[in-house]
Structure 1
Amino acid sequence: MSEQERILKFQVFRYNPQKKGDKPRMVTYEVTEAPGMTVFIALNEIREQQDPSFQFDFVCRAGICGSCAMVINGQPTLACRTLTSNYKDGEIKLLPLPGFELIGDLSVNTGKFMRAMSERVESWIHDTNADDVNFDKLEERMDPDVADQIYELERCVECGCCVSACATKRMRPDFLSAVGFMRLARYALDPRDKRSDEEFYEIIGDDDGVFGCMTLLGCEDYCPKDLPHQTQIAYLRRKMSLIS
């Protein structure tokens, strides 16, 4: 072993709820660190070389899909974007994201939550003239500044980190949370969506919506994409307060 190499110690949550008699526990694995190693790479090495039963999620490995979100040393973030060199003592503790149904070990069902959220905010463009679409007609030009704002919100990868970092969500299970606000703000900004402010108010104008946010900033602090969650929450609050 060269002087540059060191042994990483991973304390990993293990529990398979589908396996009869299995109990939650922490298991320690040791991995030899490599240059540029991420937590994701180390987890793959553990599964391939030490324990093939180990469960965690990934798809893109580039911080785009959001699948590998987990709690790393107390902070919800993406494993594929977290360098092991960030942890000087070489000790890394991994837990599944709280607030989601556990599939097994570090794997949680964020898809179930995101689908319910999407249906709740009706995340599609509502056009009153949808039945009279003329495919030969060009779409109206959108203001570039508005397009930039919408693009910024579209960068959300729905990883669930903001949900897990939200204390309000822990206390109020039906709270829409920042990812839902981000999704709805995207359509509230879009001039092609013909919903009225009153219709948006029906979705988020209560304590389980935007007025239930306690502004603890966990969503913004732990968003891997550095999205402006509080800016959008403030925007929706102003928009809804004009109605209430």
Structure 2
Amino acid sequence: MSRRLHLEIFRYNPLDPDSVPRMQSFYVNEYDSMTLFIALNLIREEQDPGVQFDFCCRAGICGSCGMVINGRPGLACHTQTRDLPDHIVLHPLPVFKLIGDLSVDTGTWFRNVGKRIEAWVHTDDTAFNPADEESRMENALAEQIFELDRCVECGCCIAACGTARMREDFMGAATINRVARFYIDPRDKRSDDDYYDVIGNDEGVFGCMGLLGCEDVCPKKIPLQDQLGIMRRMLALNSVKGILPKGILDRLRHKGCCHEKH
């Protein structure tokens, strides 16, 4: 027998002066393979068309439907209701600007940090030549880059980050992962000093408290803490390159897990 789900949804429209933050209850009959995304659509189609939440692909690719599900950030389209209790409490992701109800503006946040880290391949080429062949690289390296490129910028890792909750200037795991992606890309000509200027501070790798919340909630299972640790190690060694002898630095760089600059 299917359950009757009780969904308690945060409601608030910041553009309406008469709106006040509140929780509103809805009830939906569950069926096999129902996702939270489907349940929310049923509510909007059959009970209240004014419920706001974001979606696009319904397949965990666009990252639009991020929200806090029973206290844990996640994607509505990835979440099966059978994996949840019959009482489901939904809130918008913290850190990001609230648009209304469960809808937040992740786009502006990611666009701003993208500008801060200059999230594009920096080359020596003065102009793009469409007649040139594509740059070649080994399959193994291309797979490493693709692994880090799987981030859908849903914002779940940012919402789960203790530092980001306390500091508006913290870049977060998704941003540091993005920097790591360019660091291992052989087409990017930035030096270690250049990367240090971007994230070698408490707004970047040295601001992380190591609570592992980011990796714990990532819907794409990207090894975010590994990337943060690798980048932190590289930048920490770079900061003492004028103090420690080169031989010791070389041994430390090749000790343990660390990206090699190609």
Q: TM-score, normalised by structure 1?
A: 0.95
Write the distance in 2 (CA, Å) between the matches of 1:51 and 1:193.
49
Amino acid at match of 2:98: L
Amino acid at match of 1:220: E
Q: Which residue of 1 aligns with 2:17?
A: 20
1:91 to 60, 74, 87: 87
Q: Which residue of 1 aligns with 2:30?
A: 33
Partner secondary structure for residue 50 of structure 2: coil
Measured after TM superposition, the shift of residue 63 of structure 1 is 0.3
1:50 and 2:42 are equivalent in the alignment: no
Q: Which residue of 2 aligns with 1:106?
A: 102
More displaced 10-residue stretch of structure 1: 234-243 or 137-146:
137-146
Write the distance in 1 (CA, Å) between the matches of 2:57 and 2:209.
33
1:64 to 61, 80, 84: 61
State the Cα deviation string for residues 172-194 of structure 1 (Å, max 9, x = none).
21011001001111101100011
1:241 and 2:258 are equivalent in the alignment: no
Q: Which residue of 1 aligns with 2:149?
A: 154
More displaced 10-residue stretch of structure 1: 94-103 or 140-149:
140-149
Partner secondary structure for residue 118 of structure 1: helix
Write the distance in 2 (CA, Å) between the matches of 1:122 and 1:90.
45
Amino acid at match of 1:91: H
Where does structure 2 lack aligned partners over 5 or more consecutive residues? 240-262
Q: Which residue of 2 aligns with 1:129?
A: 125
Write the distance in 2 (CA, Å) between the matches of 1:153 and 1:221.
16
1:193 and 2:193 are equivalent in the alignment: no
State the Cα deviation string for residues 186-234 of structure 1 (Å, max 9, x = none).
1011000111111111110111110111111000000011000011101
Amino acid at match of 2:33: G
Give RMSD over aligned pairs.
Answer: 1.1
Where does structure 1 lack aligned partners over 5 or more consecutive residues? none
Q: Which residue of 1 aligns with 2:160?
A: 165
Identical-pair percentage = 55
1:227 to 222, 234, 243: 222
The runs of at least 4 aligned residues of structure 1 exceeding 6 Å deviation read none
Relative distance call for 1:15 and 1:143 in structure 2 (3 A) is same
Write the distance in 1 (CA, Å) between the matches of 2:129 and 2:40.
51
Measured after TM superposition, the shift of residue 134 of structure 1 is 4.6
Write the distance in 2 (CA, Å) between the matches of 1:9 and 1:21.
26
Q: Which residue of 1 aligns with 2:179?
A: 184
Amino acid at match of 2:177: M
Write the distance in 1 (CA, Å) between the matches of 2:230 and 2:89.
37
Q: Which residue of 2 aligns with 1:78?
A: 75
State the Cα deviation string for residues 131-158 of structure 1 (Å, max 9, x = none).
3x55444234212221111000111000
Amino acid at match of 1:146: L
State the Cα deviation string for residues 13-53 of structure 1 (Å, max 9, x = none).
00001112110000000001111100000000000100011
Q: TM-score, normalised by structure 2?
A: 0.89
